[in-house]
Structure 1
Amino acid sequence: MAGTLGIFGICLLCAGVHMTSGMTVNIPDKVYKIGRGDNVVIPCTFTPSTSLSSISWTADPDIKDDPEINVVGYFTIGSKTKVYNKYKGRANMEVDLLKGTANLQLQSVTSADTRDYECKVQDPDDEEGRLSDKASLVVLVAPSQPICNVVGKAEYFQNIELTCRSEEGTPTPTYKWQSYNVNNVPRPLPLKASEQNGALSLVNISMDTSGYYICTSTNEIRSAKCNVTLRVDPPSLNMASTAGIIGGVVGVAVFVGIIICCCCYCRRRREKAEEYAMGTPEGGEFTDKDPEEREDDRDEHVNYEEERRVKSADRLDPPDDRSERSYDRRSDYDDRRDHYTDRRDDRSDRRERYDRDDRRDDGRERYDDRRDRYDDRRDHYDDRRDRHDDRRDRYDSDRYDSRDRPPSVPPNKPKEPRN
Structure 2
Amino acid sequence: MEPPPLLLLGVSLVLLCSAGLTRSLTITSADQSMFEKAQGEKVTLPCTFELSEEDEGPLDIEWVLIPADNQKRELIIIMYSVDRVYDQYYAATTRRMQFSNLDPKSGDGSLDILNLKAADTGTYQCKVKKAPGVQSQKIQLTVLVKPARTKCSIEGSQEIGKDVTLKCVSQEGSPLLSYDWRRVSGTQHLPATSVLNKNTGELLLKNASREYSGRYNCVASNRVGTDECSVELNVTPPVNTAAIIVGAIIGTLLGLSVLCSIIFCFCKKHREKKYEKEVHHDIREDVPPPKSRSSTARSYIGSNRSSLGSMSPSNMEAYTKTPYSQVPSEDFERTPAQNPAFAPSKVAAPNLSRMGAVPVMIPAQSKDGSIV
TM-score (norm 2): 0.55
Aligned to 1:57: 63
Indicate the residue corresponding to 1:6 in structure 2: 8
**1:98 Cα deviation (Å)?**
5.2
Q: Flag structure 2 segments of 5+ consecutive residues without an equivalent.
A: 251-372
Contact 2:123 2:138 in 1 (8 A): yes
Residue equivalent to 2:50: 47
Choose which of 86, 92, 102 in structure 1 pairs with 2:92: 86
CA–CA separation in structure 2 for the residues paired with 1:162 and 1:216: 13
Q: Which has the higher strand share?
A: 2
What is residue 150 of structure 2 aligned with on the other side?
146
Secondary structure at the aligned position of 2:16 is classed as: helix
CA shift, 1:44, in A, is 0.4
How far residue 159 of structure 1 moved from its aligned partner, in angstroms, is 2.5
- Corresponding residue number in structure 1 for 2:168: 164
Distance 1:82-1:222 versus aligned 2 partners, 3 A rule: closer
Distance 1:247 1:148, change over 3 A: closer
Distance 1:88 1:57 in 2: 13
Aligned to 2:209: 206
Residue 177 of structure 1 corresponds to 181
Any idea what the Cα deviations from partners look like across 1:93-130, whole Å, max 9, x if unmatched?
A: 2465654221212222223223322111235534xx6x
1:70 aligns with 2:72: no
Contact 2:59 2:105 in 1 (8 A): no
1:120 to 117, 120, 127: 127
Counterparts of 2:155 and 2:171, CA distance in 1 = 18
**Residue in 1 that maps onto 2:232:** 229
SS in structure 1 of the partner of residue 19 of structure 2: helix
CA distance in 2, matches of 1:38, 1:134: 21
What displacement does 1:147 show?
A: 0.6
What TM-score results when the alignment is normalised by the length of structure 1?
0.50
Q: Write the letter of the residue equivalent to 2:126.
A: C
Aligned residue in 2 for 1:132: 136
Is the 1:95–1:101 contact (alpha carbons within 8 Å) kept by the matching residues of 2? no
Q: Give the aligned partner of residue 105 of structure 1.
A: 112
Cα distance between partner residues in 1 of 2:26 and 2:60 = 15
Is 1:32 aligned with 2:26? no
Between the two proteins, the alignment pairs up a number of residues equal to 242
User: Does structure 2 retain, via aligned residues, the 8 Å contact 1:140–1:221?
Assistant: yes
Report what 1:155 is aligned to: 159
Task: Give the whole-Å Cα distance in 2 for the aligned partners of 1:229 and 1:104.
Answer: 48
1:263-320 Cα distance to aligned partner (Å, 9 max, x none) = xxxxxxxxxxxxxxxxxxxxxxxxxxxxxxxxxxxxxxxxxxxxxxxxxxxxxxxxxx
Equivalent pair of 2:150/2:227 in contact (CA under 8 Å): yes
CA RMSD across the alignment: 3.3
Instruction: Give, in angstroms, the shift of residue 92 of structure 1.
Output: 1.8
Partner of 1:337: none
Q: CA deviation at 1:167?
A: 2.0
For residues 322-381 of structure 1, give each alpha carbon's deviation from its aligned partner in whole angstroms, at most 9, with x where no partner exists. Answer: xxxxxxxxxxxxxxxxxxxxxxxxxxxxxxxxxxxxxxxxxxxxxxxxxxxxxxxxxxxx
More helix by share: 1
Distance change >3 Å, CA 244–CA 134, structure 1 → 2 = same
- Deviation string 1:242-263 (CA, Å, 9 cap, x unpaired) is 4468779xxxxxxxxxxxxxxx
In 2, the alpha carbon distance for the partners of 1:87 and 1:247 equals 68
Which amino acid in structure 2 is aligned with residue 68 of structure 1?
E
Distance 1:64 1:172, change over 3 A: farther
**Equivalent residue in structure 1 for 2:192, among 190, 193, 209:** 190
Q: Does 1:217 align with 2:224?
A: no
Q: Partner letter of residue 95 of structure 2?
A: G
- C-alpha distance in 1, partners of 2:166/2:237? 19
CA-to-aligned-CA distance 1:390-412 (integer Å, 9 cap, x gap): xxxxxxxxxxxxxxxxxxxxxxx
- 2:157 corresponds to which letter in structure 1? K
Q: Distance in 1 between matches of 2:116 and 2:169?
A: 24
Q: Is the 8 A contact 1:90 1:107 kept in 2?
A: yes
Structure 2 CA distance for aligned equivalents of residues 32 and 157 of structure 1: 50
> For residues 209 and 67 of structure 1, what CA distance do their matches in structure 2 show?
59
CA contact (8 A) 1:213 1:230 kept: yes
Unaligned runs of 5+ residues in structure 1 are 249-419
Answer whether contact 1:144 1:169 (CA < 8 A) is retained: yes
Moved over 6 A (4+): 244-248
Residue 214 of structure 1, CA deviation: 1.0
